[in-house]
């Protein structure tokens, strides 16, 4: 959420930012919120004047009563009562205006970083760099669920009967591989100085609206019926929410955390063949990283975060590339975002396995996460990045490590987490 003072002083820059995000329908909101803000500040000024008058007149009443001037005192009392009634109306007006202003400000998108390329959607994202050589073997690579099924590693039919589409049972060595990847990612991030955390998997509505836009909330979140609780779509939500209404001493920054959680997402709409299987599902597990830092540190941490993901995938012999997300592909709270994509030898192209974002002060302003420093209090900056999400990561892992006989090679870094196994053999 933008600072209302910034919007008030830079309305044309805010409008240009809205245009760059191809959300022209939101342009009238800028003038509307400016008018409401003017009315709100005028109401505050008038209320302050009435309070001052009330205090002055209240003192006069005592003096008049002491002098026996009862009629004059009663007249002043009536003025105090009238002022109190007017003040009560003004205070209600202030509350109503404040609510309207906040509602609009929650919809106006965050200012994007000047380095973000301007584009309408993800088709205009910009490739930045490739890491590792993409490789296509001289044998056919089956669809990922077929690889798993040949290893007795997945049961989609039972999952459909139990929970419907978008769920799965992982079995045997594939289930173990899934857990091994999560454990390896956890230790990988701990070795890089991040503190490990297992957060709540449900959060209240005030945290949900603090960490994401209303559009994201509607398309992603599952609500617990009859309770003010939502299942998290990613542990970033509860990890950032951990600091709600907190004032953090500046010398405690940056705060760097890596978290494990299951994730739950609606994933509305129909998807093509390549997004079936375990690519786009309602429940999965993920290792995440988040940072809370000073504003001047956020871009430095942005580069550190995405490089962690690249390094992890390369340590498992999976080629990846990075994409700069264009303006139209950025969620409203994001200042800058970069996707990490893994190579698919079967599709002969890259696909998304992680996303790194800096949200500037957007989440922190909504959640009132402040920092106390030598020069006073200010709003913190927050960042997040996927370390690894095994369902998609497993697709890249299996395709890039598949042998012609159907067995799967285990890279050396992962073998301690697989009981020393160097290969998952085919089970006919």
Instruction: State whether CATH 3.40.50.1390 applies to domain 122-424.
Output: no
Q: Confidence band (pLDDT; 50, 70, 90) for 428?
A: very low
Residues of the chain with CATH 1.10.287.40: 4-105
Phi, psi of 421 (to 5 degrees): -65, 140
Span(s) in the chain for CATH 3.30.930.10: 122-424
CATH 1.20.1050.10 applies to domain 4-105: no
How high is the pLDDT of residue 142? 94
Q: How far is CA 215 from CA 1, 107, 211, 212, in A?
A: 14, 9, 12, 8
**Residue 252, both tokens:** 């405690």
What's residue 426's pLDDT? 53
Q: Distances from the Cα of 314 to the Cαs of 301, 305, 307, 338, 342, in angstroms?
A: 20, 15, 10, 17, 10
Segment 56-78 shows an average pLDDT of: 71
Instruction: Express each pLDDT in 162-215 by its tens digit.
Output: 998 889 999 999 999 999 999 999 999 999 999 999 999 999 999 999 998 777
Does 402 have pLDDT greater than 80?
Answer: yes
pLDDT, residue 76, reads 66
250-261 pLDDT tens trace:
999 999 999 999
pTM of the model: 0.89
User: Do 301 and 358 meet the contact criterion of CB atoms below 8 Å apart?
Assistant: yes
- Per-residue pLDDT tens for 259-316? 999 999 987 544 444 446 777 788 999 999 999 999 999 999 999 999 999 999 999 9
Distance separating alpha carbons of residues 97 and 101, to the nearest angstrom? 6
DSSP 3-state assignment of 35?
Answer: helix
User: Which stretches within 67-108 are classed as H helix?
Assistant: 70-105
| Cβ-count burial 56-68 (b if 16+ within 10 Å, e if not) | eeeebbeebeeee
Q: What is the mean pLDDT of residues 383-403?
A: 94
Would you state the pLDDT for residue 87?
A: 83
Dist CA 337 CA 314 (whole Å): 21
Average pLDDT in the chain? 91
Q: Looking at residues 81-93, what average pLDDT do you find?
A: 83
CB atoms closer than 10 angstroms to residue 315: 14
Q: Starting at the earlier edge strand, list the strands of the sheet with 202-203.
A: 202-203, 230-231, 222-223
Alpha-carbon gap, residue 93 to 82, rounded angstroms:
17
Rounding to the nearest 10 degrees, give the CA dihedral for residues 79, 84, 85, 91.
Answer: 150
């Amino acid at each position: 959420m933008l600072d209302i003072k910034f919007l008030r002083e830079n309305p044309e820059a805010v409008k240009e930012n809205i245009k760059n995000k191809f959300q022209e329908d939101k342009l009238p909101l800028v003038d509307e919120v400016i008018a409401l803000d003017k009315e709100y500040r005028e109401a505050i000024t008038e209320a302050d004047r009435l309070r001052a008058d009330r205090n002055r007149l209240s003192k006069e009443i005592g003096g008049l009563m002491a002098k026996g001037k009862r009629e004059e005192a009663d007249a002043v009392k009536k003025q105090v009562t009238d002022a109190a009634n007017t003040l009560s109306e003004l205070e209600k007006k202030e509350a109503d205006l404040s609510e309207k202003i906040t509602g609009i400000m929650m919809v106006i998108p965050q200012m994007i970083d000047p380095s973000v390329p301007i584009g309408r959607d993800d088709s205009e994202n910009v490739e930045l760099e490739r890491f590792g050589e993409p490789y296509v073997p001289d044998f056919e690579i089956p669809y990922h669920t077929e690889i798993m099924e040949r290893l007795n590693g997945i049961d989609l039919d039972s999952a459909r009967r139990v929970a419907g589409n978008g769920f799965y049972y992982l079995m045997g060595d594939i289930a173990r591989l899934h857990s091994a990847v999560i454990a390896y990612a956890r230790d990988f991030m701990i070795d890089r100085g991040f503190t490990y955390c297992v957060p709540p998997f449900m959060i209240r509505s005030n945290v949900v609206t603090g960490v994401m836009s209303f559009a994201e909330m509607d398309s992603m979140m599952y609500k617990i019926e009859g309770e003010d609780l939502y299942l998290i779509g990613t542990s970033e939500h509860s990890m950032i929410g951990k600091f709600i209404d907190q004032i953090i001493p500046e010398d405690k920054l940056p705060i760097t955390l890596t978290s494990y959680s299951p994730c739950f997402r609606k994933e509305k709409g129909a998807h093509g063949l390549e997004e079936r299987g375990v690519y786009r599902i309602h429940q999965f597990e993920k290792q995440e990283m988040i940072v809370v830092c000073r504003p001047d540190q956020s871009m430095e941490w942005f580069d550190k975060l995405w490089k962690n993901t690249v390094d992890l995938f390369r340590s498992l012999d999976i080629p990846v590339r990075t994409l700069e997300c264009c303006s139209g592909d950025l969620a409203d709270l994001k200042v800058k975002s970069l996707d990490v994509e893994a190579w698919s030898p079967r599709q002969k192209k890259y696909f998304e396995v992680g996303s790194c974002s800096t949200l500037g002060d957007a989440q922190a302003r909504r959640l009132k996460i402040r920092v106390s420093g030598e020069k006073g209090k200010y709003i913190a900056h927050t960042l997040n990045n996927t370390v690894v999400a095994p369902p998609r990561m497993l697709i890249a892992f299996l395709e890039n490590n598949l042998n012609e006989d159907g067995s799967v090679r285990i890279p050396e870094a992962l073998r301690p987490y697989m009981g020393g196994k160097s290969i998952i053999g085919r089970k006919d």
